[in-house]
Amino acid sequence: KNQVEQSPQSLIILEGKNCTLQCNYTVSPFSNLRWYKQDTGRGPVSLTIMTFSENTKSNGRYTATLDADTKQSSLHITASQLSDSASYICVVSPRGSTLGRLYFGRGTQLTVWP
């Protein structure tokens, strides 16, 4: 069964600290993996998209890593800011899908305290 599991479910850190969010998936065959940021009351916004051949991709203070062999990804946030408080969602796209199907994780709720 195709699944995307994220951990932790929630996380609280102090402003300026770093953190790492985890994503494990069983989707196969695999096309690409995405990380989205969703602020409360808003739609998700894309942070990174990686293919199976990419190991790392950065977007400012956000760095995503991918290990396609172990089916694991992580999102590292450096020097956190209050505006980083949001839900971070890992999304996996299967290869060959004609239905536009994406598999969404349940998200990690990050809270950054001053």
Partner 1 sequence: NAGVTQTPKFQVLKTGQSMTLQCAQDMNHNSMYWYRQDPGMGLRLIYYSASEGTTDKGEVPNGYNVSRLNKREFSLRLESAAPSQTSVYFCASASGPASGLYEQYFGPGTRLTVT
Q: Are 66 and 48 in contact (CB under 8 A)?
A: no
Residue 108 to residues 81, 95, 98: CA-CA distances in angstroms?
Answer: 16, 25, 28
Query: Could you say whether residue 45 binds partner 1 (CB under 8 A)?
Result: yes
Per-residue x/- track, 54-93, partner 1 (CB under 8 A): -----------------------------------x---x
Query: Could you say whether residue 11 binds partner 1 (CB under 8 A)?
Result: no
Among positions 1, 43, 69, 83, the unique one binding partner 1 when judged by CB under 8 A? 43
Query: Could you say whether residue 53 binds partner 1 (CB under 8 A)?
Result: no
Query: Could you say whether residue 4 binds partner 1 (CB under 8 A)?
Result: yes
* Side-chain half-sphere CA neighbours of 95 within 13 A: 8
41 contact partners, CB below 8 Å, separation of at least 6: none
Whole-angstrom distance, CA of residue 94 vs CA of residue 28: 6
Query: Could you say whether residue 106 binds partner 1 (CB under 8 A)?
Result: yes
Query: Could you say whether residue 97 binds partner 1 (CB under 8 A)?
Result: yes
Among positions 55, 95, 111, 113, the unique one binding partner 1 when judged by CB under 8 A? 95
